[in-house]
Amino acid sequence: MPAASIVWLRRDLRLADQPAFHAAASAGPVIPVYVLDDDGAGRRKPGGAARWWLHHSLAALERDLDERGSKLILRRGDAAAALAAVARAAGIAAVHALHHYEPWEIAAEKAVAGALDLTLHDGAYLAPPLTVRTGSDKPYRIFTPFWRALGATMPPADPLPRPHLRAPANWPASDGLDDWHLVPTSPDWASGFAKEWRAGEIAAHDQLDDFLHRVGDYEEDRNLPARDGSSRLSPHLHWGEISPGQVWHALAGNRGKGADTFRSELAWRDFAQNLIAQFPDYGDEPYRPEYARLAWRDPMRDAAAAADLKAWQRGRTGYPIVDAGMRQLWATGWMHNRVRMIAASFLVKHLLIDWRHGERWFWDTLVDADYGNNATNWQWIAGSGVDASLFSRIMAPLVQSAKFAAGDYIRHWVPELAKLPDADIHDPADRPRGYPEPLVDHRAARERALAAYRHARAAS
């Protein structure tokens, strides 16, 4: 029997269209390994909501592998050391993996390559980051020309089928998934997640099938939080339960604006990863230096700012659309995209709290928390990013709520307001008992934010 190969899994928890599995399977028996590496140098370990998803995604992959006569080996600790231990136990050196581009993943790949025969494959994005380049052979920093250039290279390669997996003569020892305690128990703050989500490759394709029936209306419905207009594919894409190439090809028969808009959003995912590849600390540092000088209200030193941040996190700002979004996030690990923008803008500009506090909260509470997307989207809202909205563009939550017909969405997530008519629900004049007054007046907050920005620019 030929020597076995390890498939090192990270955010690529699928069998179909998974080049690492195909390369390993073509060479001989396959040993799939997932390493929970929480403590690597510079590593951001998954937040609480993401760990919930990871548990269920790994459980689904275990079932899929068992049905094919294979197994999933689980190890915890430093990735290079854990994989080397599995390799020694199996008497092999070859490792196949998909390439990932977060700074800690690049460091881990270098460490594994120093200890074992590592072969990296592309397959997590429509095109490998940094390969779509300008006419002067530089990576793009602006989305629109990036999207045009990426679109010219599409479609991606045809998706690969599920490979036939041969088992090794002996299986290495594995941790038990439940022993990792990835899901909360007491208190079980994720009790509502299972009502909203199914994790795993099969669930990802079921969700794609559902979305394909609705994609024709996506251009309009994606902005209306009261409708089921979102694809809800983001956690499946983040954890690699489905590839962006599979989604692209599934959209092939759809030519309308809805499908075109969704294709551009798949491209935004690639664009965000291209920024991370260029600026590895993009989730920690503003790209534009004036934002480092802006006089943010500091929740670590200012009790009033700390109270405002806590109110935002708990959906107690007194702005119904913001509160609905933040409560949806806590209850389900996800928030409607339009409302994400409104809630993020409110934190940064109405409360004048540094975007990094919001980025960290989303990192801990989103099941689809992605370093590239999260950092890029927060820096876009804050105005501090490479390709960002102007800081002076301050979303008016009350206007946004009415414009995008959020009444029923608010009624669902802010039950204190459920009995209010559409005329009152976006900005209740008489607050029902238990619902707070607004933390800040919109016009006063706008002027405060613009004054802080003008001062930061003048100091440059």
User: Model confidence over 385-427: pLDDT tens digits?
Assistant: 999 999 999 999 999 999 999 999 999 999 999 999 999 999 9
In this prediction, residue 395 carries a pLDDT of 95
Asked whether residue 9 carries a pLDDT value surpassing 80, the answer given is yes
In-domain check, residue 247: yes
In-domain check, residue 229: yes
Indicate if 443 and 300 belong to the same structural domain. Answer: yes
Indicate if 306 and 260 belong to the same structural domain. Answer: no
In this prediction, residue 42 carries a pLDDT of 83
Indicate if 130 and 120 belong to the same structural domain. Answer: no
Reference 99, options 86, 108, 90, 88; nearest CA is 108
Could you list the residue range(s) of the whole structural domain that residue 211 is in? 125-157+201-278
Burial readout 392-419 (b: 16 or more C-beta within 10 A, e: otherwise)? eebbbbeebbbebebbebbbebbebbee
- CATH number of the domain enclosing 28: 3.40.50.620
Count of CB atoms situated within 10 Å of the CB of 455: 13
Asked whether residue 192 carries a pLDDT value surpassing 70, the answer given is yes
% of the chain exceeding 70 in pLDDT = 100
Residue 233 DSSP code: -
In-domain check, residue 284: no
Q: Which segments of 279-396 does DSSP mark as H helices, in order?
A: 290-293, 303-314, 320-332, 337-345, 355-365, 371-382
User: Model confidence over 231-252: pLDDT tens digits?
Assistant: 999 999 999 999 999 999 999 9
Indicate if 311 and 431 belong to the same structural domain. Answer: yes
* Average pLDDT for the chain: 96
In-domain check, residue 176: no
User: Model confidence over 276-329: pLDDT tens digits?
Assistant: 999 999 999 999 988 989 999 999 999 999 999 999 999 999 999 999 999 999
Cα separation, 74 vs 161, whole angstroms = 24
Cα separation, 203 vs 241, whole angstroms = 8
Indicate if 77 and 133 belong to the same structural domain. Answer: no
In this prediction, residue 1 carries a pLDDT of 65
Cα separation, 230 vs 334, whole angstroms = 11
In-domain check, residue 13: yes
What is the Cα 198 distance to its own chain's centre?
16
Number of domains in the chain: 3
Asked whether residue 107 carries a pLDDT value surpassing 80, the answer given is yes
Count of CB atoms situated within 10 Å of the CB of 82: 22
Reference 278, options 132, 125, 61; nearest CA is 132
Work out the average pLDDT over 127-153: 97
Indicate if 9 and 115 belong to the same structural domain. Answer: yes
Secondary element (H or E) of residue 84: helix 79-90
What is the reported pTM?
Answer: 0.97
Asked whether residue 460 carries a pLDDT value surpassing 90, the answer given is no
Q: Which segments of 368-436 does DSSP mark as H helices, in order?
A: 371-382, 397-403, 407-413, 422-425
Confidence of residue 339 (pLDDT cuts 50, 70, 90): very high
- Residue 73 — φ and ψ, nearest 5°? -95, 125
Indicate if 141 and 266 belong to the same structural domain. Answer: yes
Indicate if 315 and 262 belong to the same structural domain. Answer: no
- CATH number of the domain enclosing 399: 1.10.579.10
Amino acid identity at 301: R
Edge-to-edge strands, sheet with 117-121: 73-76, 30-36, 5-9, 94-98, 117-121
Asked whether residue 41 carries a pLDDT value surpassing 90, the answer given is no
User: Model confidence over 427-443: pLDDT tens digits?
Assistant: 999 999 999 999 999 99
